[in-house]
Structure 1
Amino acid sequence: MDSETVEALRRYTLLESPTGDRRSLDTLAAALETDAAHAGFHVDRERHPTGDHLIWTLPARDTDGGPILLLSHYDTVWPVGTLAELPWTVDGDVIRGPGVYDTKAGLAALLTAVRTIAGGPHPELRVIVVADEEIGSPTAGGLVRAEANRATAILGLEPPHPGGDLKTGRRGSTRARITITGVEAHAALDPDTGVSAIDELVDQLTGIRGLVTGRQVLLNTGTVAGGGRTNVVAGHAHADLGLRFLDPVDEEAVLGGLHALHPVRGGATITTELLSHRPTWRPGPAGERLLGRIREIAAGIGQDIGGRPADGAADTNTTGALGRPTVDGLAPRGGGAHARTEWVSAAGITERTALLAALLRHL
């Protein structure tokens, strides 16, 4: 067991960091920045009201290779207080705690790997640690795109496939809000002068279901809200949709359809807003070449690793969809992401630390 890296993971896990909790995120960010500076990084931030994105830079040393961009995040899906029910534990190879797998172990492994290559040749390293990845990185897209366009390789520090294989593509992921504005009226005395936003929303949701029928699209209506009183025709209603895409053509058609929605009822209005958007990342030649090189380097240290597309979304959707050489899943193996069974392998931490160090030397 890599005791130093596990101890860092323990410290990070005990600093709970749910998305949007600025105070908690700041506390963990300070700890991460201290460790990053100790590893040799220059640390900076892109500031946002809901949580700052961390930007770390390590200048190139004795090499002409282009910069490597590493993507991670420090927010989790777990609210403060989860440790009381899901405490930090180490039982043989199994380490448990909120966020250990997704993806604090990846951060701990990276920082240890960077310390091990100190003094040797390596390209410029740029690390972005996002504060709102778990809700689709709504404030980080521009930063990720700008950094990706200057990088020769992008490595994602999200969890791998079960067993440790890497991720070479991802479904597109969009959160959209459909907002209906109707006309309030007394539901008994003057109903005909009202326009029900709730009734309009129900009809629109039925139409949206038809929009995705026959396409390789997952649609989940996650929340519905509206109205206020049973004796008042509802003047407002909205629904939040989660959409996943395999094909960019379907993605363009469905999102275009959402923006082109027309009301069924006179007097109703519809607004479509994308709360977050990660484009479909399909495997391509640049990513396949990068995976091939990673496999060669891994074989050189005795590791056999594969790669294939994944269903979940991450910030590598953005870089992969740009056609930039991208591979994800370089955090340690484990399981139970977003579940109370979340765990990470202690041996996997050691394996990934060694692999990351080798990649940072030889990519």
Structure 2
Amino acid sequence: MSPATLDALHRYTLCESPTGDPRSLAALAEVLDADAARAGFHTARETHPTGDHLIWSLPARGVSGDPILLLSHYDTVWPVGTLATMPWSVDGDVLRGPGVYDTKAGLAALLSAAGEIKDQDHPEVRVIVVADEEIGSPSAGDLVRAEAARARAVLGLEPPHPGGDLKTGRRGSTRARIQVTGVEAHAALDPEAGASAIDELVDQLILIRSVVADRPVLLNTGTIAGGGRTNVVAGQAHADLGLRFSDPADEEAVLGALDRLRPVRDRASVATRLLSHRPTWRPGPAGADLLDRIRVIAAGIGRQVDGRPADGAADTNTAGALGHPTVDGLAPRGGGAHARTEWVSVAGIAERTALLAALLTGL
């Protein structure tokens, strides 16, 4: 890895950038846009109150046709202040720090690769760097769909499988909220005048569990909140669910059941809404063809790569599920995503920089 790439990743890591913190995200966005401009990109933004999505375009040189689209993100799961207990460090091949693996090393590798190919022939290169990927990209879906629709290939800069294999499909991922409104009353003097939102919510959660019981669906009730006092029948309650799907038919059935929830209690009301939704991306012919082309290009620079589906979700779900040629996992190898053991391989950054440069000129 070149000293300039290492310096870039160091700067990105020191700019802590948790999802939903617009001030911190804006500080890193300024750094990233400046580096992208130096690498030859035209920079623009789609603004959002919780953080801007960065849109970079490297004009075509000598190659006409549709652009290559790369998808990445600059938000992390780590709150500001994490560096105090999880500092930047380099020990041999192991580089540590919050967000280095997921996925600031991918951004450093991409910008280094773009700088290398500025004077070579290549098609237009488009890059979307999302600000809220770690919570399901609720504000980026339309942007990703529009850009993917006109791309010759969609490349995801999420971390690869352990060892470096690419990702050719992903589970669908949905965050949903069940919101219940009840009727407050004195819990001892007049309980029958009330309708407990918490009791109603429990019944609704049991119902949803029965819907997924015989399906290969992962359901996690991640957050429950409601009520206020033990002597007051709860008037409000909600639960946030995390759902993962491997089959679009199961996804349709479960999300349909959520949409059709009706209250058990006469005076309660139930509403559901999707907080974020990434459709199931199953491997298909377009992705298989793209992987074959990547294998050939990688072999041309002395690298061997393979690919297989992954359990986690990302913005490539949106492109892949629509049938666009999509492959993910092109960030450098490492491990410990979302864990305090997070690390990225120094050699892996150099490997991915070389592969990305070859892909941007060879696809």
* TM-score of the aligned structures, taking structure 2 as reference length: 0.99
Alignment of 1:183-194 (within 5 A): 183-194=183-194
Partner of 2:7: 7
Match of 2:151 in 1: 151
Deviation of the 1:119 alpha carbon = 1.1
**Alignment correspondent of 1:327:** 327
Partner of 1:207: 207
Distance 1:346 1:288 in 2: 29
Which position in structure 1 is the counterpart of 2:84?
A: 84
Give the aligned partner of residue 67 of structure 1: 67
Q: What is the CA distance between 1:2 and its match in structure 2?
A: 2.4
Q: Partners in 2 of 1:233 and 1:128 — Cα distance?
A: 48
Partner of 1:39: 39
Gaps of at least 5 residues in structure 2 are none
Q: How far 1:261 moved relative to its partner?
A: 0.6
1:32 and 1:297 map into 2 onto residues whose CA distance is 28
Q: Which stretch shifts more, 3-12 or 274-283?
A: 3-12
Q: Which amino acid aligns with 2:345?
A: S
Q: Deviations over 1:49-86 (max 9, x none)?
A: 00000000111110124200000000000000000000
Q: 1:169 deviation in Å?
A: 0.2
Q: Residues of 1 paired with 2:179 and 2:60: CA distance?
A: 49
* Distance (Å, rounded) in 2 between the aligned partners of 1:220 and 1:141: 23
Paired with 2:105 and 2:314, the residues of 1 have a C-alpha distance of 16
Q: Deviations over 1:282-331 (max 9, x none)?
A: 00000000000000000000001110000000000000001000000000
1:305 equivalent in structure 2? 305
Cα deviation code 1:336-357 (max 9, x no counterpart): 0000000000000000000000
Partner of 2:231: 231
Amino acid at match of 2:349: I
Q: For 2:118 and 2:57, how far apart are their aligned partners in 1?
A: 14
Residue in 2 that maps onto 1:343 = 343
Deviations 1:27-63 (A, max 9, x none): 0000000000000000000000000000001111101
Residue 203 of structure 2: SS of its match in structure 1? helix
Structure 2 CA distance, aligned partners of 1:75 and 1:114? 21
Equivalent-residue separation in structure 1 for 2:312 and 2:3 (angstroms): 30
Aligned partner letter, 1:311:
D
Partner of 2:138: 138
- Which AA in structure 2 matches 1:352? R
Find runs of 4+ consecutive structure 1 residues off by over 2 angstroms. Answer: none
- Aligned residues: CA RMSD: 0.5
User: Which amino acid is 1:182 matched to?
Assistant: G
- 1:161-217, Cα deviation, whole Å (9 max, x unpaired): 000000000000000000000000111111111000000001111111001011110
How far apart are the structure 2 equivalents of 1:20 and 1:58? 28
Aligned residues between the structures = 363
CA distance in 2: counterparts of 1:122 and 1:293, whole angstroms: 16
Residue identity matched to 2:222 = G
Q: Residue 20 of structure 1: SS of its match in structure 2?
A: coil
Query: Structure 2 CA distance, aligned partners of 1:298 and 1:120?
Result: 18
| 1:10 shift after superposition | 0.4
Structure 1: where are the runs of 5+ without partners?
none
Distance 2:64 2:274 in 1: 41
In structure 1, distance between residues paired with 2:7 and 2:163: 23
